[in-house]
């Protein structure tokens, strides 16, 4: 049996594939709009195509014995989702519905969904748990929550299992150094700071210095990308052994770091002191 990884050429998807191929047969589906083929482990089977292409999905499910789908493929820029909501509902919702329809049609019963802490919006508590009310404030968060609701409805009427994983902020790179973050344009804080310290970026823009935090800058919860990858695999194995089914989990470390702390830590580790 194999695992289909949708969006396996992206940041989190490629790290998950690299972990999966040590134990499982892996098929990667990615249209390379934001992903990179060179990030895909050579032991995986790569198919270039769109998530919403019924013919490609039929071919994959017919040719390969797929036991589960790990779904990473999505547009994920909050600001862009506000400016172009239809793109997010088309790619994150409509295309995923095609995937789910084909899974049901071909009898594929296990689904690991890459969701987001953006489904919570701006909660009135510092510590967000899975019981915190969802109230997304942008189309990106709403598109993810829509699919979460679809999954719950499917599980009521089909022999279908899912795990929803709501990420906080993914960071880091694989310990081999072979793959890491590569966004265009880069939108994640740590690589932006490192690019600046290496002279590849003129400046770092800090958006807001009057937050109610110790140093006035925004605090975020970070989780290492390899931990995210392993959480997906543990979720799949939990479903396969009957230990978990139809669950939602937050993925973070429970502690936050401010923008200023991240900048200062990068400076300390690199021995460079730009940020003029």
Determine contact, residues 179/15, Cβ cutoff 8 Å: yes
- Per-residue b or e along 88-104, where b marks 16 or more CB atoms closer than 10 Å to that residue's CB: bbebbbebbeebbebbe
Cis geometry, peptide bond prior to residue 32 (ω within 30 degrees of 0): no
As a whole number of angstroms, the distance between CA 43 and CA 19 comes to 11
Q: Which residues are catalytic?
A: 140
Q: For residue 214, how many C-alpha atoms fall within 13 Å in the half-sphere facing its CB?
A: 7
Pairing relationship of beta strands 169-171 and 161-167 according to DSSP bridges: unpaired
Determine contact, residues 107/50, Cβ cutoff 8 Å: no
């Amino acid at each position: 049996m194999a695992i289909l990884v949708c969006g396996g050429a992206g940041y989190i998807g490629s790290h998950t594939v690299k972990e999966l191929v040590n134990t499982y047969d892996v098929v990667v589906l990615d249209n390379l709009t934001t992903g990179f083929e060179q990030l895909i482990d050579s032991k995986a089977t790569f198919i270039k195509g769109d998530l919403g292409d019924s013919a490609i999905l039929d071919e994959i499910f017919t040719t390969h014995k797929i036991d589960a789908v790990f779904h990473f493929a999505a547009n994920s820029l909050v600001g862009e989702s506000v400016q172009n909501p239809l793109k997010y509902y088309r790619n994150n919702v409509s295309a995923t519905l095609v995937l789910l329809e084909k899974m049901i049609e071909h009898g594929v019963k296990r689904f690991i969904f890459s969701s987001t802490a953006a489904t919570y919006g701006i909660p009135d508590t510092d510590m967000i748990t899975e019981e915190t009310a969802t109230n997304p404030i942008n189309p990106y968060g709403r598109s993810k929550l829509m699919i979460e609701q679809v999954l719950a409805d499917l599980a009521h009427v089909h022999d279908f299992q899912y795990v929803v994983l709501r990420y906080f902020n993914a960071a880091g790179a694989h310990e081999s150094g072979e793959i890491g973050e590569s966004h265009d344009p880069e939108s994640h804080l740590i690589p932006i700071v490192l690019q600046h310290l290496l002279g590849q970026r003129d400046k770092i823009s800090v958006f807001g210095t009057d937050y109610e935090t110790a140093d006035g800058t925004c605090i975020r919860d970070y989780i290492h990308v390899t931990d995210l990858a392993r959480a997906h695999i543990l979720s799949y194995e939990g479903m396969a052994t009957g230990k978990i089914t139809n669950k939602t989990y937050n993925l973070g470390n429970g502690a936050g770091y401010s923008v200023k702390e991240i900048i200062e830590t990068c400076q300390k580790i690199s021995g460079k002191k730009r940020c003029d």
